[in-house]
């Protein structure tokens, strides 16, 4: 008999304050997760993972600080909830940036440079060699992308460009300077889902999927 936990889909929150959250929702659903838009602190309850999308990191930080969402996310992640940040999400999860003070979530031992590859007009696409995917490069979409100037000893670098880290992870955190949600390649979202399942198997997250309402799903609107 298959256990209920094996039948349940992980519930992944997607921060929906600003940025490319709708594309992440679609990607998560395609790899087998349910999703919930996170716009207020109560939306964090019962999640198995959280995605912080690309967008404008200063705007994300200021809006999150004003609503109390930033503090709530910090508390939730401190409890071991797996998190995936892309572009601005990578900046928000860094412990520090090179561009002066701004509201950050923090928790990942990296120092990030904003707009490291240039402004909007310098956006580009390039293949990325990601260590978890030796079979083929990943199609990287770089839009005002950051890079990591410094990576702490507990953080694994997954990809670099020009001598700087553009993807990294710990057991419960995954960040990319590029936008996997803007491609049809689902390998990075699938990697995060595997991290969520591994964390849940070791009881390092809060509520498991079996403790929420069956079939809960909220689509981007």
Instruction: Report the CATH number that the domain containing residue 159 is assigned in CATH.
Output: 3.40.50.880
pLDDT at 100: 75
- Nearest residue to 94 (alpha-carbon basis) of 166, 11, 10, 9: 166
For residue 166, being part of any structural domain is answered with: yes
For residue 208, CA distances in Å to 5, 114, 191, 204 come to 8, 35, 19, 10
* Number of domains the chain is built from: 1
pLDDT at 62: 73
For residue 12, being part of any structural domain is answered with: yes
For residue 40, being part of any structural domain is answered with: yes
H helices of the chain, where? 4-7, 21-30, 57-67, 69-78, 88-93, 187-201
pLDDT at 211: 30
For residue 48, being part of any structural domain is answered with: yes
pTM, whole model, 2 decimals?
0.86
For residue 218, being part of any structural domain is answered with: no
Task: Return d(Cα 26, Cα 136) in angstroms, integer.
Answer: 23
DSSP-derived 3-state class of residue 63: helix
pLDDT at 121: 67
Range of the domain at 39: 4-211
pLDDT at 68: 85
pLDDT at 210: 29
Residues of the chain with pLDDT under 70: 1-7, 121-122, 202-221
For residue 216, being part of any structural domain is answered with: no
For residue 217, being part of any structural domain is answered with: no
For residue 118, being part of any structural domain is answered with: yes
Task: Return d(Cα 32, Cα 49) in angstroms, integer.
Answer: 13
The catalytic site residues sit at 87, 179, 181
* Residues linked to residue 174 through DSSP beta bridges, in sequence order: 84, 169
Task: Return d(Cα 59, Cα 66) in angstroms, integer.
Answer: 11
| Residues 6+ positions from 9 with CB-CB distance below 8 Å | 32, 33, 34, 209
Whether 69 contacts 39, CB under 8 Å: yes
């Amino acid at each position: 008999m298959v256990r209920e936990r094996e039948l349940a889909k992980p519930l992944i929150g997607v921060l929906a304050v600003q940025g490319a959250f709708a594309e992440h929702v679609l990607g998560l659903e395609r790899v087998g997760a349910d999703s919930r838009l996170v716009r207020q602190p109560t939306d964090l309850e019962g999640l198995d993972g959280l995605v912080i999308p690309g967008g404008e990191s200063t705007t994300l930080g200021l809006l999150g600080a004003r609503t109390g969402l930033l503090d709530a996310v910090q508390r939730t992640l401190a409890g071991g909830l797996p998190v995936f940040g892309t572009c601005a999400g990578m900046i928000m999860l860094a412990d520090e940036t090179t561009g002066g003070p701004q509201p950050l979530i923090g928790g990942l031992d990296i120092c990030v440079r904003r707009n490291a590859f240039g402004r909007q007009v310098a956006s580009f696409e390039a293949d990325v060699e990601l260590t978890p995917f030796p079979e083929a490069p990943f199609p990287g979409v770089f839009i005002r992308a950051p890079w990591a100037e410094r990576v702490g000893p507990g953080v694994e670098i997954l990809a670099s460009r020009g001598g700087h880290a553009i993807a990294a992870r710990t057991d419960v955190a995954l960040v990319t300077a590029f936008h996997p949600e803007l491609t049809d390649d689902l390998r990075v979202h699938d990697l995060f889902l595997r991290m969520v399942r591994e964390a849940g198997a070791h009881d390092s997250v809060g509520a498991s999927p079996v403790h929420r309402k069956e079939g809960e799903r909220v689509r981007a609107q």
